[in-house]
Every structure is written in structure tokens, then in C-alpha cells.
Chains A and B, each alone.
Chain A
Amino acid sequence: MRPIKTALLSAMAAPAPVSAPMAQEAAPYRPGPETSGTIKVWTGPIMTAPSER
């Protein structure tokens, strides 16, 4: 999919985009390593047993 989409986009984009939007889109949004804070995570077991003893 990606090459086709890139080709389409670059064909449509005139003049060619300075920054590559595909590259940004492909990299998942992830905060940088300097991100700080405390978070709480809640979890159950990995599967829903009907009723667990």
C-alpha cells in the first residue's frame, strides 16, 4: 500500500513537498525520551476465565 500511496501523493503534489509527509505519517506518534511523569496502569489477567477461583 505505502509505495502506491506515496506515488499517488507525489504525483498529485506539485510542487513536490519539502518535508516528506509520508515519513511523518508512517512513524507512529511517540513522545520523546525526555517525557516525564508518573502513570498508573491497571490490568486483569491475560484472559477472561469464566470464574476464577
Chain B
Amino acid sequence: MVSSSAWNGVRRNGAFYASIAPFFLIFPAFSIFPVAFSFYLGLSDWDGFSDPHFVGLANYGRALNDPVFQKAIWNTLYLWFWSTLFTVGLALALAVLVNDHVIGGRTYFRLVFLLPLLVAPAIAAIILRVFFTSNGGIVNMLMGAAQGQPSYFNWLASEVWIKPLVTLLVIWRWTGWHMIIFPAGLQAIPRDIYEAARLEGVGRWAIFSRITLPLLVPSLVFSIVTATLGGLQMFDEPFVLTQGQGGTNNSTTTLGMYLYATAFTQFDFGLGAAVSWYIFAAVVGFTLLSRAVNQRLGVSS
């Protein structure tokens, strides 16, 4: 009669089971199935319509042999590194400044830096294009004024400048989001440690680097991990800034854009799925790495 008593248990806690049931319906349908399906697609040739057929690891090999994919790997790493460095660095600096120097209205600062994220990426790109467009762009006008002769440099078509511009767009959009990670960590550092340090005559920079920073490691790691997850999957910013073309000579085509182009404009879903698994592998690898680093730092401090 085990089963009947188990059933009684279910009945007694009916409301509980009813309330978690949706999760067990939604999770397989919208999480497990897509993951399994994309794994299957990665091993198939599929145009989104006819019956997929099995091609083994061919898609994974095709991606590696595609010069655009190789370029996309490098572009993604570049954009990830610089955007993470500047976004997290700037967010940390702003958070510390607000924490140290602003007493009333801290919420105002947290919110005001978050505003860019509320602007749709396409609109953000238009704003940046107004600054950098070759013909009548604000930056060229300023340069022209400084040089005494008009400047028509095509920033957005430049292979050299388009990556920094994408990075700039990422920084502008995401710094505020990272900034709200740090205040909680900063608040958690006991005041008396600072006071003791100041009484000992320790300088400001030393206080920051010896006390604040080490105690902020968990927040910092969290911030870097989320920036990395975004960075490795970066799509919106380079897409909107280059009209979906990836810039001159694919100089800012990211893995996400490559995936999008193969799967959704060229209907090569097998190749797209294979690329998504490469991105997934990179994300998992980085997450494991950051955990290891976090644990080591945690032990040493």
C-alpha cells in the first residue's frame, strides 16, 4: 500500500504540487527540448523545412574551416575582453565613488546609469551613428573644427575603429547594470575596518587596493562572469551598429551574428546549431575557470 499512501501525500499537498506543476511542464518544453533538439540539429543538415538528415560532425568541421567563423572567434574575444574590462572597471570605479562621496540620493545615481539599458539597442545604435557617421557626424565636425578643414572619416566602415565603437556602445549600455552589483558588496564591508586603516594613516589608494578590492571579489567575479556570458554571446550591439553586415570585411562579426546569419538568413540550421554548441562550450569553460579562480581567491583571503 505504499503507492496509496504516496498518493494520499500528493492529495494532502495538492496545492503545493499544483503550484509546481507548471514548471515541470514548461521546463521540458522550453528548456530541455530546445537543448536536445539543437544538439540533434548540430549533427544534421536541415533547412528548417524538409526532413533533417544526419551528417555527423560535418557542421562542426565546416564552421572551423570557414574564414568568417575564424574571424568571428577573434572578434568575439576582442569585444568580450575590452568591453568586460571597461564596463566592469568603470562600474566599480563609479560605485566606489558614489559609495564614498555621495550621501543622499544614491538611488538616483544607480538609476541614472541604468537608463541606457532601457533604450532599445537599435535606438542606441542610431545615437552612436549620429556621432560617428562620415557625413555630418558630430565627431567629424569636431575634428574638422580642430583641424581647420572638414573631416569625412568613415568611422563605421573602418576595420580599425568599428570594434572600439562597438565596445563603446556595450560600455554605454551595460555599465549602469554592473554598477548596481557593487553597492551591496561595498555596504557589506564593515565601516570600522576603514576607520582603523585611516587611523593608521593608510592612503586612499592603499585602502582601495588592500581592503575594498579584496573584499569585493565575490561581487567582482559575479560581475565579470555576467559580462562574459553577455560578451561571448554578443549580438545586439555589433548587429545594429553595422546594419547586420558585421562591418567592413566582417571586422566586427561576432559568433552570435555568425550563428544568426547561418541559421536565420541562410537557413542552414545545422551549422547554426553547431556554432551555438561552440559558444556553449566556451561559456561552460569560462564558468568553470572563474569558479576555480573564485575559490582560490576566497581561500587566500
Residue A51 at the chain B interface, CB threshold 8 Å = yes
Residue A33 at the chain B interface, CB threshold 8 Å = no
User: Number of B interface residues, CB 8 Å?
Assistant: 5
Residue A53 at the chain B interface, CB threshold 8 Å = yes
- In whole angstroms, how far apart are the Cα atoms of A51 and B11 in the complex? 54
Residue A50 at the chain B interface, CB threshold 8 Å = yes
Q: How far is the CB of A41 from chain B (nearest CB, A)?
A: 22
Interface positions, chain A 16-53, Cβ under 8 Å from B, are: 50-51, 53
- In whole angstroms, how far apart are the Cα atoms of A53 and B244 in the complex? 10
Residue B10 at the chain A interface, CB threshold 8 Å = no
Interface positions, chain B 221-259, Cβ under 8 Å from A, are: 243-245
Return chain B residues, CB-CB under 8 Å to A51: 243-244, 265
Residue B206 at the chain A interface, CB threshold 8 Å = no
Please list the residues of chain B having a beta carbon within 8 angstroms of any beta carbon in chain A: 122, 243-245, 265
Please list the residues of chain A having a beta carbon within 8 angstroms of any beta carbon in chain B: 50-51, 53
6 nearest A-B residue pairs (beta carbon): A51-B244, A53-B122, A51-B243, A50-B244, A53-B243, A51-B265
7 A-B contacts, Cβ less than 8 Å apart? A50-B244, A50-B245, A51-B243, A51-B244, A51-B265, A53-B122, A53-B243
